[in-house]
């Protein structure tokens, strides 16, 4: 494994890149969606597809068959398939941290017949075979614990203390599948080091009825450890005993030693080959399993696994994560669109945009290639958004009439939730209407204020319903899309060095807030520090 060689060619060094540039300067730039639909009766079929649990209509995007052909050639020239196979073989593709990238293994069934399904590379890899055994042992232990908590009538409140990947994924999924949560359990997610968050929650809790989950891959993250200590202090101050601590605190971490030092005896572990933002399938998923039960969690994994298999084996032209990644590249590097707005028309998916911000921007927000050379082109777009139809009444004005083009990704459900089902058609009609309005516009309107240029691109993803399997597949779709776009851009999507500098500076500044010491600081930081110093 140490002799791992990155099989990729950077996108700008392929011949397809130059051909795409010429294509963009020719037909690409002036592409008109309305004309494209008028000319091609098959356009909807050509640019839509059914992937596991997810139907995707990509036809309202600024591409035609020649564009997609060139983009697929680019993917082949970049070595996307070999790079994907390296991930599925357990190669250390996270080269800066010398780690494999195997969150997909967390979803793999225990008795999946690797040799025939996965081919030689995977079957031969010890990392994968050993990993799979450990994955299932931990999964079984986690699901047993989840069921115990669900059956425990005394515990009413479960508090997950974690941040970033140890918060966003579990919180997003637990909210999405809230209909499955037992009525006698409340789930809380605390992430911020602002004491207002944990403090206001603790006022509502009783220690004997509360279970704290300390979720941190490293078990060193400042926010999480600060909140974990505050929760422990509160527990003891409320009369809790050391023995009680052992029953009311669980650690979810790869750092078993630090968890033991903290005084936690129930720890569910995971592995360094699970990135923080890819960890909801691991022990970090315990709050999800408590919310939806062991069966529900297994269905979530099964949905994601179905998408893994699709990504691993579907031809590039019919591979949904790849098609979405190619669109991302086309928009970012040729059209120059700087952002993408996520519009899930589902209250359950209201935290999806925040979750995807970390997944996409922490993974692909890089300015150097995997070898550390500066990139001459842009990478991750800004991901932002809000559940529909709320977004319509906030920022959609800009998406319809502002000078920047912002591709929108709509997500809708064919079946609504159990609550007030009569409202679902109204919700879905709004999603369809926005996508159509963005494309058609009202270009002939004389009054400029009322004129809509139209030709604004969008994708439309459709799930049958918001159940564990569909959600698992949807999340895995995004993970693989991020992998594929990062592969094309030639970057390492699995490190996050960009978050380090701020952490170091904060460690230096915190004691200065007490002393007012501004030595060596720039004038702005010094001026602010003096105002903040106590």
Q: Which residues of the shown chain bind ligand F6P in the complex (CB under 6 A)?
A: 163-166, 216-218, 221, 224, 276-277, 362, 496, 499
Tokens of 476: 């895995």
CB atoms closer than 10 angstroms to residue 135: 22
For residue 528, give both structure tokens. 């602010």
DSSP assignments along 289-348, one per residue: HHHHHHHHHHHHHHHHHHHHHHHHHS-GGG-HHHHHHHHHHIIIIII---EEEEEE--GG
Pick the closer one to ligand F6P by CB: 72 or 251: 251
Q: At closest approach, how far in Å is the CB of 217 from ligand F6P? A: 4
Instruction: From the candidates 393, 415, 445, 510, give the one annotated as an active-site residue.
Output: 393
**Calpha distance 411→466 (Å, rounded):** 11
Burial class (CB in 10 A: 0-12, 13-18, 19+), 406: buried
Catalytic residue among 223, 299, 360, 362: 362
- Residues 195 and 200: their CA atoms lie apart, in Å, by 8
The dihedral sign for the CA sequence 283, 284, 287, 288? negative
- Reduced to 3 states, what is the DSSP secondary structure of residue 435? helix
C-alpha neighbours within 13 Å on the C-beta side of residue 247: 14
Residue closer to ligand F6P (CB basis): 65 or 499: 499
Does residue 238 sit in helix, strand or coil? coil
Q: Given the complex with ligand F6P, which of 279 and 341 has the nearer CB atom?
A: 279
Nearest to ligand F6P of 88, 270 (CB atom): 270
Distance, in Å, from the CA atom of 373 to the CA atom of 375, rounded to the nearest integer, reads: 6
Vertex 121 angle, CA 115 and 124, to 5°: 70
Kindly name the residue from 25, 45, 415, 503 that is annotated as catalytic.
503
As measured in angstroms, the least distance from the Cβ of 368 to ligand F6P is 18
Residue with tokens 């398939």: 81
Nearer to ligand F6P, 240 or 269 (CB): 269
SS (H, E, C) 451-509: CECCCCCEEEEEECCCCHHHHHHHHHHHHHHHHHHHHHHCCCCCCCHHHHHHHHHHHHH
CB of 510: closest distance to ligand F6P in angstroms? 17
Nearer Cβ to ligand F6P, position 224 or 357? 224
Residue 297 and residue 288 in contact, taking contact as beta carbons nearer than 8 Å: yes
Determine contact, residues 228/214, Cβ cutoff 8 Å: yes
Pairing label, strands 186-190, 249-253: unpaired
393 has catalytic annotation: yes
Question: Closest distance between ligand F6P and the C-beta of residue 230, in Å?
Answer: 16
Least distance between ligand F6P and beta carbon 360 (Å)? 13
Instruction: Specify the residue, 224 or 485, whose C-beta has the smaller distance to ligand F6P.
Output: 224
Beta carbon of residue 222, minimum distance to ligand F6P (angstroms, whole number):
9
User: Annotated catalytic, 53?
Assistant: no
136 tagged catalytic: no
Q: In terms of CB distance, is 125 or 282 closer to ligand F6P? A: 282
| CB burial of residue 314 (10 Å; 0-12, 13-18, 19+) | middle
User: CB 20 → ligand F6P: shortest distance, Å?
Assistant: 32
Shortest Cβ distance from residue 439 to ligand F6P (Å)?
A: 37
Active-site amino acid positions:
362, 393, 503
């Amino acid at each position: 494994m140490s002799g791992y060689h990155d099989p990729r060619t950077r996108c700008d060094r392929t011949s397809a890149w130059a051909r795409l540039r010429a294509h963009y300067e020719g037909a690409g730039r002036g592409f008109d969606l309305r004309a494209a639909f008028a000319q091609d009766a098959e356009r909807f079929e050509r640019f839509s597809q059914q992937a596991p649990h997810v139907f995707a209509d990509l036809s309202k995007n600024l591409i035609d068959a020649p564009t997609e052909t060139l983009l697929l050639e680019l993917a082949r020239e970049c070595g996307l398939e070999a790079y994907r196979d390296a991930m599925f073989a357990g190669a250390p593709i996270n080269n800066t941290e010398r780690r494999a990238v195997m969150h997909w293994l967390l979803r793999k069934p225990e008795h999946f017949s690797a040799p025939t399904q996965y081919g030689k590379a995977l079957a031969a890899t010890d990392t994968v075979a050993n990993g799979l055994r450990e994955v299932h042992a931990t999964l079984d232990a986690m699901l047993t614990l989840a069921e115990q908590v669900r059956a425990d009538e005394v515990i009413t409140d479960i508090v997950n203390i974690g941040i970033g990947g140890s918060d966003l994924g579990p919180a997003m999924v637990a909210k999405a599948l809230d209909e499955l949560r037992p009525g006698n359990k409340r789930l809380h997610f605390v992430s911020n080091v602002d004491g207002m968050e944990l403090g206001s929650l603790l006022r509502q809790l009783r220690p004997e009825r509360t279970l704290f989950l300390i979720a941190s891959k490293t078990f060193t993250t400042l926010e999480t450890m600060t909140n974990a200590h505050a929760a422990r202090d509160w527990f003891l101050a409320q009369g809790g005993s050391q023995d009680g601590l052992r029953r009311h605190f669980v650690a979810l971490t790869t750092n078993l030693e630090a968890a033991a030092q903290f005084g936690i005896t129930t720890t569910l572990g995971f592995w360094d080959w699970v990135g923080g933002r890819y960890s909801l399938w691991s022990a970090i998923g315990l709050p999800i399993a408590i919310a939806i039960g062991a069966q529900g969690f297994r269905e979530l994994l099964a949905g994601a696994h179905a998408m893994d298999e699709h990504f691993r084996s579907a031809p590039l032209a019919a591979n949904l994560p790849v098609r979405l990644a190619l669109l991302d590249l086309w928009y970012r590097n040729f059209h120059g669109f700087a952002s993408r707005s996520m519009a899930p028309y589902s209250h359950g998916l209201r935290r999806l945009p925040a979750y995807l911000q970390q997944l996409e921007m922490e993974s692909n927000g890089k300015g150097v290639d995997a070898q550390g050379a500066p990139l001459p082109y842009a990478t991750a777009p800004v991901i932002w958004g809000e559940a529909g139809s709320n977004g319509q009444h906030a920022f959609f004005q800009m998406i319809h009439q502002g000078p920047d083009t912002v591709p929108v990704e709509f997500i809708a459900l064919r079946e609504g939730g159990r609550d007030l089902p009569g409202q679902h058609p109204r919700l879905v009609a709004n999603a369809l209407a926005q996508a159509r309005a963005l494309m058609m516009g009202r270009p002939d309107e004389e009054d400029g204020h009322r004129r809509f240029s139209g030709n604004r691109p969008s994708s439309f993803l459709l799930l049958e319903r918001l159940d564990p399997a569909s959600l698992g597949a949807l999340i895995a779709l995004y993970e693989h899309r991020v992998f594929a776009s990062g592969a094309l851009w030639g970057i390492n999507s699995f490190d996050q060095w960009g978050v380090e500098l701020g952490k170091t500076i904060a460690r230096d500044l915190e004691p200065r807030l007490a002393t007012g010491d501004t030595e060596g600081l720039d004038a702005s930081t010094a001026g602010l520090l003096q105002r903040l110093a106590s």
